[in-house]
Amino acid sequence: MTVEKWERRSEVPLILLALAFLVAYAWPVLDPRLDPSTRNVLDALSWTVWGAFAFDLLIRLVLADGRRAYAIRHWYDVALVAVPLLRPLRLLRLLALVRILDRSAANNLAGRVLVYVAGAASVAVGLGALAVLDAERSAEGVNIATIGDALWWACATVTTVGYGDRFPVTAEGRTIGVVLMVVGIGVVGAVIASVTSWILGRVEAERNERQLNES
């Protein structure tokens, strides 16, 4: 089996595992009064998912022709497995769902842009809101204390609006804010670049058609 075949076969199971990890991570954040037994079960689930992603990475490295080159190209997977403190970032595997949706998306530019922008923005807002709420809730002078506040702040940050009525006060929360700003700039830039490319393509097609008619 090649590494490409393994990646195709494991893509959907990894998405389901990422969704399970999302539940295990989000539930204690949204319900801080969760009983210890349930919290222990969720923590065990999150480590189980981590083990599954570590096993997936190991299989891909074994199947890859150039293991070192493959590991360098997929450095983010290596980092997310090697550093347990980054476990929440494994939810970025949910972006694989965007690739699956792209297969059934319209074959035009508008369809692809809609899929990628909606997927990236939704994941960024959801994960950013959970992460900042987890970081900020118990801080002194906090003004992001509920999931509603966190979602509002994440939406304003990703869209680069930045009203300033909600903002993080901890170093961890501000780091999350910087990441969301970068994501927001990237999403907006991708939309502008795609629309510009589409307009230039239409202009070029009309120009070629006009030249053919004139000749």
End-to-end Cα distance, the chain:
55
Tens place of pLDDT per residue across the chain (215 aa): 788 888 888 878 888 887 888 788 888 878 778 888 888 898 888 888 888 888 988 888 888 888 888 888 888 778 777 776 555 555 555 555 555 555 555 555 555 666 666 667 777 788 888 888 888 887 788 888 888 888 898 888 887 787 878 888 888 888 888 888 887 887 777 767 766 776 777 778 778 777 777 76
- Verify that 198 and 126 share a domain, yes or no: yes
- Residue 87 pLDDT: 56
pTM comes to 0.60
- 161 and 113 in a common domain: yes
**Structural domain for 155, as ranges:** 105-215
Within 13 Å of residue 19, how many CA atoms lie on the same side as its CB?
Answer: 8
CA distances from 31 to 35, 114, 146, 151 (A): 9, 33, 10, 16
Q: Same domain for 75 and 171?
A: no
Residues 13 and 87 in one domain: yes
Same-domain pairing of 57 and 162: no
pLDDT of residue 136: 83
pLDDT tens, residue by residue, 147-206:
888 889 888 888 778 787 888 888 888 888 888 888 788 777 776 776 677 677 777 877
Q: Is residue 98 part of a domain?
A: no
**99 lies in a domain?**
no
pLDDT in the model for residue 101:
54
